[in-house]
Amino acid sequence: MDLSGQYRIPADVATVWAALNDAEVLSRCIPGCEELEKESDTEMAAKVALKIGPVKARFSGRVKLQDLNPPHSYSIVGEGKGGVAGFAKGGADVRLTQDGDETVLDYSAKAQVGGKLAQLGSRLVKSTSAKLADQFFDNFSKAVAG
Amino acid sequence: MTQIKMTVNGKSATADVPDNTLLSEFLRENMRLTGTHVGCDTSQCGACVVHVDGRAVKSCTVLAASLEGADVTTIEGIANGKDLHPMQAAFKANHGLQCGFCTPGMIMSGIDMVNRYQAEGQALTAEAIRHELEGNICRCTGYHNIVKSIEDAADEMSGMAQAAE
Amino acid sequence: MSDGIGARVERKEDKRFITGKGKYTDDFRVDNQAYAAFVRCPVANAKINGIDASAALAMEGVIAVHTGPEMKEDGIGDLITGWSITSKDGSPMQCGVWSPMVTTYGRYVGDAIAIVVAETQAIARAAAELVELSYDELPATVQVEAALADGAAQVHENVPGNMIYDWEIGDEAAVNDALAGAHHVTEMRMVNNRLSPNPMEPRSAVAIFDEAEDHYTLYTTSQNPHVARLVLSAFYNVAPEHKLRVIAPDVGGGFGSKIYIYPEEITCLWASMKTGRSVKWTSDRTEAFLTDAHGRDHVTKATMGFDANGRIVGFKTDTLANLGAYVSLFATVTPTYLHGTLLSGCYDMPAIYGNVKAVHTNTVPVDAYRGAGRPEATYTIERMIETAAREMGMDPAELRRKNFINEFPYQTQVILQYDSGDYHKTLDMAEEIADVAGFAARRAEAAARGKLRGLGYSTFVEACGIAPSAAVGSLGAAVGLWESAEVRVNPVGSVEILTGCHSHGQGHETTFAQVVSDRLGIPVDNVSIVHGDTDKVQFGMGTYGSRSGPVGMSAIVKALDKVEAKAKKIAAHTLEASEDDIVIENGEVKVAGTDKSMAWHEIGLAAYIAHNLPEGMEPGLKEAAFYDPLNFSFPAGALICEVEVDPDTGVTDIVKFTAVDDFGNIINPNIVEGQVHGGVTQGIGQAMLEQVVYDDSGQMITGSYMDYCMPRADDVPSYALDHNATPSPLNPLGIKGCGEAGAIGSPPAVINAITDAIGNNDLQMPATPLAVWTALQNVKTSMAAE
């Protein structure tokens, strides 16, 4: 599954970059996030409760940041396991561009799901993911602007 | 655990069950009424249809604990002693079943649709029966004889309803 | 006799089903019962490095967690294949090892890795979620065409290039010559979509180990309990046959998928011994999608050549068959001897060649599903001939008639010899019922409403009752395909029939009783049928391949012959008449032309009291027979489908479906028609609705009825049926088998009708609204380009 999007965030690139690397900010913005721990500068562990179609589960996952080019771009790769609900793994390339007072964030993501998530919910994964991404960036914009 | 009390096939039934016990599990495991079948996990197949307070319900979608005081009828409870319900008789007469697994749900849905259409004074056409059976899957019969069975039973049941008036 | 052969007797078994008193495997609750759930491979290909069951074992109510390596240590065998195929170069087939539970590699999503046994089903399932797997995910091969590509991921190390076999049938050189000289050649690529059989009752097993007796009992959802016992004993080493009882009680449909002995049954038996508990496992629907053997999944390229008169001169097919991650019990024979041998269809073809390459992929095993190989052959042939007719500007029915086989027995170019038939009359009858003459007017009327009408044919022949045993043995079968029966006339004159066949919807309790009623003149209510229990019934082969009629009932007839002969001797002795003068009429054994007679209860009583039997006769009246057929039987039919397509949406309605079949003699028309209704509906499902989809990584994304589209009542029409019987000369009842015909013949009729409506032959199954709409747009685009 491929997903991409663009968001305008009312802050400069440096602020956005810092927030994107701030576990506390992220944990507030990720929908359903119950726990987010920064294990190193490039690694985080998270617990997220999600509902996709008929599948509801608590996913625990690890995220790694790669190809860091602060404050302009990085790649995220990660994998989350939701027990019998299945798993999701994938990656996203994130790019920040200053545009006046704002930052334009572009991302393109690839994801693969397995288990019940695939068997029962696959047709809903894309729309749910897009909705979750919108929620995240909505929260994120507010957090950064605030 | 939750204590539940309901009426099943005219008899009072009481049990302590885990909160997440489905009506289908309660009927099959606690009541040992195994005529109610479970053919899927997503409420599509309809093999588990029973009547709750006179309406068809998929028993795999209802928590037993939510039915305090309800009146539940299963496939085991529709015959009048040795006399088959007209819907049961029609399924037999029209070869409306093969492996028999979906049959309890089909019969319970069939009775419900006939009752609803008769209450509304509407004709239950073959087309309407096919539409109404959206929530009941049969893999054996191709539905041809199920539709005939429900049509026949509808006639019989309307005759009985008129005779009663 | 009103209960006899040909009567529309209401089914004897129905009462328990319509009152909710049927007894299916999951309905049994036995002493000391625990419940099992399986931990399954989450990805399509993985090396399993370790299993951590500590959290699961710590859960209250969990009894044990066991794994594949432990099973191997206990000597439980690997799963077997029941039919060996030899490649065209003479080499034996290659297939990967299938252990009941994974020892090192998990090769499809759903491959069993561990069994969790607990006090309740809910606990077992919850605990299975807590079992932690550590694994390395490996690249997977999913699609059949990709499996043979260079660099494709290997499913098994010992199967290079994923090729299980490369098999051929017929004369390739003769076909090439014929095609080179043909007046017209039609070529097509066709996908026979992957299906999940979906009997409404999910698979289930209750395994009971009795330590004191060192004995096992298995209740299971099986179409063939004796074969299950044999295989569980001889190959999986669960227990010797006399220490293992297999009971297949009421079974809620099979369609082939319950022929096989799956890892779960084997594992539950073993786990019962390990835990000292009775172990019950019942599949949920998603588990059924993941682990029940699938059907079809062929890709075929076909070429058919015609002379200037429209006669077929040669037919060639190249087929890729996806057998999945492991070779299931009868998987290998489906694309070969059940498919390649049917390539002549009902046509006189002078030259035929078929090549089949069977491959492994990281998907659930594929095996026989209603029709097994014959639907694939029929689809190829019937789409080819209809398309060829359109290309040559001929009427598709006339092109068929030009090529029909007219004389029987008919020896095809691909092994089989057809027994009997009258294909012309069957097609004439179907055209009459379908009112083909009025189709042009209906099409015009539909066009006026903005709808597209189409008419499609399928004239098919199939082969039932795989036989004889020696012949199938020479072709690689590991078993013989005979059937057994025992007829017991009780002292009171009632009759029990013990049959090796198994009824899971077919109504044997009625039809088999009708055969007895017809022969002995007693009511069907005085006959009971015993089946499905290895402790009660002699060895038998079970029910699949439309065999219970032609083979199973023939065994009953053979046993009845013996009963009748003995009864006549008893009657002749008692009535002081010559044995030659004894006849059986109206339920009595009589001296012809006199009023001297004995009722069956008098015969029975005489046989068991045994005070006055002929010199040297053994007491009792019970006879057994094993019947090995002389040949397959060859049911055939003509199906005509009429559809209406909404060009704006691609939504297709089947407005009329006509089926005229030749099943030979019919025992009970109600039951035979029911088989056709169900079979055709499954065929319509294949043609328009059903498809198992794996994504590129091998995850199944159609794992429930939300995404796998089963035919519902308003997807299908009421059917118009008739019969044109030409009795089979090869079995005593002249019957041919009817269980699979509908599923075999119907898919091409549907697709031929839709392609007729939209004017584009390039359409694959399932013809969903999107597929039909897209094919319509392609016609418009190509017309615009011209």
- Write out the residue limits of the CATH 3.90.1170.50 domain(s) in chain C: 34-138+201-252+258-291
| Chain segment C485-536, per-residue pLDDT in tens | 999 999 999 999 999 999 999 999 999 999 999 999 999 999 999 999 999 9
Mean pLDDT along residues A71-76? 94
For every residue of C490-509, DSSP letters joined together read: -TTS-EEEEES---SSS-HH
* pLDDT for C786: 72
Tell me how far apart the alpha carbons of residues C232 and C526 are, in angstroms, rounded to a whole number. 36
Distance CA C227, CA C541 (A): 6
pLDDT tens per residue, range B61-89: 999 999 999 999 999 999 999 999 999 99
Q: In one letter, which amino acid is C95?
A: C
> For testing the chain C interface, which of A119, A124, A125 should be mutated: the one with the most C CBs within 10 Å?
A119
List where CATH 3.30.365.10 sits in chain C.
295-466+631-785, 482-627
Q: Give me the total of CB pairs closer than 8 Å, taking one residue from chain A and one from chain C.
A: 48
Q: Which domain holds residue A44?
A: 2-145
Q: Residue A117's pLDDT band (boundaries 50, 70, 90)? A: confident
Q: Check the CA dihedral B106-B110-B113-B119 and report its sign.
A: negative
Neighbouring chains of C at 3+ CB pairs under 8 Å are A, B
Which CATH number covers residue A41?
A: 3.30.530.20
Predicted structure pTM score: 0.96
DSSP assignment, residue C686? I
By Cβ distance, the residue of B39, B144, B146 closest to C200 is B39
Which residues share a beta bridge with C477? Answer: C83
Tell me, yes or no, if B103 comes closer than 8 A to chain C by beta carbon: yes
| CA of C9 vs chain B CAs: smallest distance (Å) | 9
A60 near C CB under 8 A: no
Fold that domain C295-466+631-785 belongs to in CATH: Aldehyde Oxidoreductase; domain 4 (3.30.365)
Please count the residue pairs, one from chain B and one from chain C, whose beta carbons lie less than 8 angstroms apart. Answer: 176
Q: Which residues pair with C588 in a beta bridge?
A: C585, C599
| pLDDT, tens only, C116-146 | 999 999 999 999 999 999 999 999 999 999 9
How many percent of chain C have pLDDT more than 70? 100
Bridge partners (DSSP) listed for residue C92: C86
Inter-residue contact C110 to C45 (CB < 8 Å): no
Contact C200 B104 (CB under 8 A): no
Q: Do B20 and C18 touch (CB under 8 A)?
A: no
Copy the structure tokens of residue C556.
């009953």
Question: Is residue A116 pLDDT above 90, yes or no?
Answer: no
Q: Does domain C482-627 have CATH number 3.30.460.80?
A: no
Mean pLDDT on C424-436: 98
Please report which confidence band the pLDDT of residue C467 belongs to, taking 50, 70 and 90 as the band edges: confident
Question: Which residue type sits at C598?
Answer: M
- Asked if residue C204 lies in contact with residue C234, where contact means CB atoms within 8 angstroms, the answer is no
**pLDDT for the residue numbered A111:** 87
What are the pLDDT digits (tens) for C47-75? 999 999 999 999 999 999 999 999 999 99
| Number of domains, chain A | 1
Closest approach of C625 to chain B, Cα-based (Å): 28
Q: Which residues of C touch A83 (CB under 8 A)?
A: 129-130
pLDDT of residue C192 exceeding 90: yes
Neighboring chain A residues of C290 at a CB cutoff of 8 Å: 119
Identify which of A54, A114, A120 has the shortest CB distance to residue C42: A114
Residues ≥6 apart with Cβ < 8 Å to B1: B16, B17, B18, B19
**Interval A12-27 mean pLDDT:** 93
Which domains, ranges and CATH numbers included, belong to chain B?
A: 2-77 (3.10.20.30), 86-164 (1.10.150.120)
Cβ of B139 and C678 within 8 Å? Answer: yes
| Cβ–Cβ < 8 Å for C142, C698 | yes
Question: Are C699 and A112 in contact (CB < 8 Å)?
Answer: yes
In the predicted model, is pLDDT for residue C1 greater than 70?
A: no
Q: Do A115 and C42 touch (CB under 8 A)?
A: yes
Contacts of B39 (CB under 8 A, 6+ apart): B45, B46, B47, B48, B101, B102, B137, C200, C201, C202, C252, C285
Handedness of CA C282, C284, C288, C291 (dihedral sign): negative
pLDDT in tens, C703-724: 999 999 999 999 999 999 999 9
Q: Which class would CATH give C34-138+201-252+258-291?
A: alpha beta
Query: Chains with 3 or more CB pairs closer than 8 angstroms to A?
Result: C
Length of chain B: 165
Residue contact B143–C716, C-beta within 8 A: yes
Mean pLDDT for all residues in chain C: 96
**Rounded percentage of chain C residues whose pLDDT exceeds 90:** 96
pLDDT recorded at residue C50? 95
Burial C546-575 (b: 16+ CB within 10 A, else e): bbbbbbbbbbbbbbbeebbebbbbbbbbbb
Cβ of C109 under 8 Å from any chain A Cβ? yes
